[in-house]
């Protein structure tokens, strides 16, 4: 197994038995070509970026040129041309590019990550005990633990028999933002108030916390979809691929409470 990491810190996280970690830049054509040598199946995951479509399409081109047989790509469940979330609009462009590449492919569409909740809200909760978002308190979201996404991706790569499929991955339950706040409060033995705010207020909060404007725009686009109940399926993909149920938000919280402290 070979992994391309963008920094020594990332390389350390990816290191393990039978893993050859290469440090390189996905925007550097030479780094990418060198990495692709000997690769037969490519798992593609790149961080959100304003040039995401260009970066990911170039990775597909490099895979074709290097003789890679198949691609498993981590996309998003909201991928669509008309999505209010910029990330989702970018992903669907690359999803189609992969499908037209001639390579065997599997596209993974995970729901929103449980781990992203702490990234978005823990700082303000620590500061004032308040969690604010442009989402109804009772809006159910079938969010998924990233560890379960990784487990499904690993099985897809190992089984190598899901060619030209798109696989939706969701959590086992509908979690509300108010319920999330209540569970975190109980686990921390503190009080957390959940408030629904306007889209403009939610965006301003993210920007004030140092989030780039283009990222804040995508985050409040997701909030809109949660608030309106769009695209909120529940499918037992994790059990189908791993033989065990997907982790609940309570399971996630028990293992990641330090992220909220």
Domains in the chain: boundaries: 38-260
Unique residue bearing structure tokens 């995970």: 110
List the strands of the sheet with 41-44, edge to edge: 41-44, 70-74, 104-110, 165-169
pTM higher than 0.85, yes or no? yes
The whole-number average pLDDT for the span 238-256 is 97
The whole-number average pLDDT for the span 31-46 is 94
Is 80 exceeded by the pLDDT of residue 71? yes
Residue by residue, what is the 3-state secondary structure of the chain?
Answer: CEEEECCHHHHHHHCCCCCEEEECCCCCHHHHHHHHCCCCEEEECCCCCCCHHHHHHHHHHHHHHHCCCEEEEECCCCCCCCCCCHHHHHHHHHHHHHHCCCCEEEEEEECCECHHHHHHHHHHHHHHCEEEECCCCCCCECCECHHHHHHHHHHHHHHCCCCCEEEEECCCCCECHHHHHHHHHHHHCCCCEEEECCHHHHHHHHHHCCCCHHHHHHHHHHHHHHHHCCCCCCCCHHHHHHCCCCCCHHHHHHHHHHHHC
Q: Which residues pair with 71 in a beta bridge?
A: 42, 105
Number of other CB atoms surrounding residue 19 within 10 Å:
11
pLDDT at 143: 95
The whole-number average pLDDT for the span 126-140 is 96
pLDDT digits (tens, 9 = 90+) for 138-167: 999 999 999 999 999 999 999 989 999 999
Is 70 exceeded by the pLDDT of residue 231? no
pLDDT digits (tens, 9 = 90+) for 218-230: 999 999 999 988 6
With a CB cutoff of 8 Å and minimum separation 6, the contacts of 43 are: 71, 72, 73, 74, 153, 157
The whole-number average pLDDT for the span 117-143 is 95
Structural fold of domain 38-260: Rossmann fold (3.40.50)
pLDDT at 15: 86
pLDDT digits (tens, 9 = 90+) for 81-103: 999 999 999 999 999 999 999 99
% of the chain with per-residue pLDDT over 90:
86
């Amino acid at each position: 197994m070979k992994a391309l990491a963008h920094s020594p810190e990332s390389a350390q996280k990816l290191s393990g038995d039978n893993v050859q970690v290469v440090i390189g830049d996905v925007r550097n054509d030479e780094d990418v070509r060198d990495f692709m040598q000997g690769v037969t199946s490519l798992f593609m995951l790149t961080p959100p970026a304003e040039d995401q479509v260009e970066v990911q399409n170039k990775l597909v081109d490099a895979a074709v040129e290097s003789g890679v047989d198949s691609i498993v790509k981590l996309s998003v469940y909201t991928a669509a041309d008309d999505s209010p979330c910029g990330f989702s609009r970018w992903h669907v462009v690359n999803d189609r590019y992969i499908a037209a590449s001639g390579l065997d492919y599997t596209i993974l569409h995970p729901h929103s990550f449980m781990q992203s909740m702490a990234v978005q809200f823990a700082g303000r909760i620590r500061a004032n005990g308040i969690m604010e978002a442009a989402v109804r308190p009772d809006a159910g979201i079938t969010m998924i633990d990233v560890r379960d996404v990784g487990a499904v991706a690993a099985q897809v790569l190992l089984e190598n028999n899901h060619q030209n499929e798109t696989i939706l991955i969701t959590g086992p339950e509908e979690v509300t933002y108010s319920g999330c706040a209540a569970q975190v409060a109980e686990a921390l033995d503190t009080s957390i108030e959940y408030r629904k705010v306007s889209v403009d207020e939610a965006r301003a909060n993210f920007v004030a916390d140092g989030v780039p404007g283009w990222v804040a725009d995508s985050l409040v686009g997701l909030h809109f979809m949660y608030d309106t109940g769009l695209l909120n399926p529940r499918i037992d993909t994790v059990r189908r691929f791993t033989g065990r149920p997907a982790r609940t938000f309570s399971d996630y919280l028990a293992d990641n409470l330090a992220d909220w402290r």
